[in-house]
Amino acid sequence: MIELSGIRHTNLDISSLRIPPGTTSVIGPNGSGKTMLLKLLAGITLPQSGTVFIDGLHPREIETGWVNEFPDRNILFGTVFDEVASSLRFRHLPDKDVERTVEILLDSMGISPLTDRPVYDLSGGEKVLVALAAALVHTPRFLVLDECDSHLDNNRARQIERIVQERRIPYVIRCTQQVESAIRSDHVIFLENGRVAFDGLPTDVFAQLHDTPFYPLSLECGI
């Protein structure tokens, strides 16, 4: 269980929040604090006050993968292989083990033809997949996706969902503007003005959002 208590940080004001294992979607208006919440959960930023624990551990003690909304901000190396392999090389793993692990991962994601391509020559969707591969290669216990679906078509976004589901990561937190995607989550958090307005099962949260721009069309139409 992820537990937040007494969080006060920039515009965030969260007295108490518990996030169960599984996939959680964080939704809400622009400026509501979604990305800042993700940064606190990932340990990128420490709260000005309050605590964050993931299964009793501080976020920086957890193996975490992060995918930014803008994939170019994730990129450190020139080729796809070097980008995906970087975290394994930083751990000084044998070259053969690194090569094998990266090959298997890229093949499972359907992007092995990109192995030797320069990352900056890829399309936006391909860059997101490479950033996701780099986040998954060390088998994180916690995966954070910060609106990485915002520049993707529906087919590519569903592909990413499938890849993440197949990895069976204990905790996946994603910030998204795609409410139709959020319906498929295990848990939904709706932020407004830095506070948690609603959280719980998707059906329960979206029932509170009827007649708002955040109510999914598929529910409206009974699809």
Burial code of 122-145, b = ≥16 C-beta within 10 A, e = fewer? beebbbbbbbbbbbbbbebbbbbb
Give the strands of the sheet with 187-192, arranged side by side: 64-67, 142-146, 171-175, 22-27, 187-192, 195-200
Q: Are both 32 and 96 inside the same structural domain?
A: no
119: helix, strand or coil: helix
Residues counted in the chain: 223
Same domain, 104 and 201: no
Can you tell me the distance from the alpha carbon of 213 to that of 210, in angstroms, rounded to the nearest whole number?
Answer: 8
Pinpoint the alpha helices (H) of 77-201: 80-90, 95-108, 124-136, 154-167, 179-182
Q: Are residues 206 and 100 in the same domain?
A: no
Residue 49's CATH number: 3.40.50.300
- pLDDT by residue (tens digit) across 101-139? 899 889 888 888 999 899 888 888 888 889 999 999 888
Q: Render pLDDT for 139-168 as a digit per residue (tens, 0 to 9).
A: 899 999 998 877 777 887 888 888 888 888
Q: What is residue 73's predicted lDDT score, i.e. its pLDDT?
A: 75
Q: Are residues 120 and 70 in the same domain?
A: yes
Instruction: For residues 196 and 13, give the distance between their C-alpha atoms in angstroms, rounded to a whole number.
Output: 8
Radius of gyration of the chain (CA): 18
Planar angle of CA 210, 35, 80, nearest 5 degrees: 120
Q: How many domains does the chain have?
A: 2
| Residues pairing with 223 in the sheet | none
The pLDDT score that the predictor gives to residue 202 is: 94
Q: Are 150 and 69 in contact (CB under 8 A)?
A: yes
Domain housing 129: 64-139
Report the amino acid identity of residue 211: D
Final residue belonging to a domain, choices 139, 156, 180: 139
Quote the pLDDT of residue 71: 74
pLDDT for residue 223: 57
Query: Which of the listed residues 139, 171, 192 is the one where a domain comes to its end?
Result: 139
User: Which tokens hold the place of 41?
Assistant: 């959960």
pLDDT confidence bin for 208, thresholds 50/70/90: very high
